[in-house]
Amino acid sequence: MSTEAITQEQFLREFTKELHNDNAAAFVGAGFSMSAGYVDWKGLLKDIVTDLGLDPDKEHDLVSVAQYSVNQAGGNKAALTRTIVNNIGIAKKPQLGHEILATLPIHTFWTTNYDKLIEKSLEDAKKVPDVKYTVKQLATTRPERDAIVYKMHGDVDHADKAIICKDDYEKYPFEMGQFASLLRGDLIEKTFLFVGFSFTDPNIDFILSRVRAVLDKDQREHYCIQKKVTRRPREKRADFEYRQLKQDYFIRDLKRLNILTVEVDDYPDIPALLEKVAMRYRRSSVFVSGAASDFAPWKPNDVGAFLQSLAKSLAASGNRIISGFGVGVGGAIINGVLDHLSEDGIGVSEEHLMMRPFPHTPSGRPASASRWTKYRKSMIDHAGIAIFVFGNKKDASGRTVASNGMREEFDLCVASGVVPIPVGATGYMAETLWKEVDGRFDHFFPNATASIRRSFTAIGKPSTTPGNLEENILRIINHLQKD
């Protein structure tokens, strides 16, 4: 790893905070589209360079090369337009990296790409994108939009208007200056993640330098994911070390703009790192599954005190609590979160507490089973960790039986990759689920230490005190959130 780069752990910790604070934005470059089968700028202009009698391996100022092509054609951009359409006009499917970004709480996307991968990935994630690639579009707002996609260099459907050569860049401040102003504002107000971006674009360099000039040392931190320099086959050590040194200087120069770099070993590791971001974000949301008509051998007051204290501790640690307001359990969970928010003077919002009381029919009876399943899944989709407590109900004859609803919630969690923490010490369905997880402990907790193994054993013992149950549950969650 470059001595100038930050660690992945630092990036995960800090960028996840920005996601929770709804401050994150993404800037997507051409490199991010290559996994879908598109070309980068060098690939896009390869034939143009060759037609000019130049060497594609030696040309790096591609904006100038694009201008040479226009000059050769007497000011006509038809060849460039054709190149864009031929290389990018064929629709491709969004890849894993696009899909992950689309599921995160990122509401502002910027790109210099002409393709439609960002908006398509948002649509696949059931979100409404508001796409802007002309100045006129800035004045209108798409109803019920979930994210804005600023395509500051144009769209493949209007390739003749694409920003690609020197003429376009020189006119940009006058014809597209509103985009530059909006990006400058977003760079001041939001924390950006740059992916697939080389920072060689003249527009971006100009805008970043203006932000730095205005804010100097008060710039907001941004993040950039880059592939670290690795030695090529048969490459001389001196040549490899030279490229390493250049990358170090480049990463240090990005720091001047307060853009911190996190490195990956290879390009396929970028989606893997984004998956860690998504997992870290989701694991800060804890779903509490529980319902009880009978608390024996627990005393009702002890149950309320235990659950309220647990919820308060979880909220105080920065977790969002998700509750279906289960009978005998939901009230204590919600009170615990409200206790924390009240003590810290924080207003109640879904960023701290997501309450989803189960739907009933107008007659007061439960809704259909299929509707409850969809409802459960809609809650679980927001979580990364699930705690299961008690889990019983009264059947038609008045007997206490294990909760089949908790069973379903457990299965939905496992199917969605949500890590289950059944508190077996509370008995009933939670005890059954604890035994299942205990039997497959290494599957659910592959990186667990001996200490975490002991904690999981402790929450399955009826003899464990409420205080120790809470302590061990929090220890397990803390491990999962740093895993």
Q: Catalytic residue positions? A: 153
Please, which residues have CB within 8 angstroms of residue 48's CB and are 6 or more apart in sequence?
65, 66, 69, 79, 80, 83
Measured CA to CA, the distance from residue 312 to residue 335 in angstroms comes to: 8
Measured CA to CA, the distance from residue 469 to residue 475 in angstroms comes to: 10
User: From its phi and psi, is residue 322 left (phi > 0), alpha (psi between -120 and 50) or beta?
Assistant: beta
Strand-strand pairing, 392-394 and 400-402? antiparallel
Structure tokens at 264: 């990956």
Q: Which residues, listed in sequence order, are joined to residue 222 by a DSSP beta bridge?
A: 259
Give the number of residues written for the chain: 483
Measured at the alpha carbon of residue 216, what is the angle toward residues 210 and 218, in degrees to the nearest 5?
115
Query: H or E stretch including 217?
Result: none
Q: Is the dihedral of CA 461, 467, 468, 470 positive or negative?
A: positive
Q: Which residue type sits at 50?
A: T
Please, which residues have CB within 8 angstroms of residue 195's CB and are 6 or more apart in sequence?
26, 27, 28, 29, 31, 32, 97, 101, 224, 225, 270, 274
Q: Are 325 and 346 in contact (CB under 8 A)?
A: no
Measured CA to CA, the distance from residue 52 to residue 102 in angstroms comes to: 40
Q: Are 285 and 247 in contact (CB under 8 A)?
A: no
Radius of gyration from C-alpha coordinates of the chain: 27
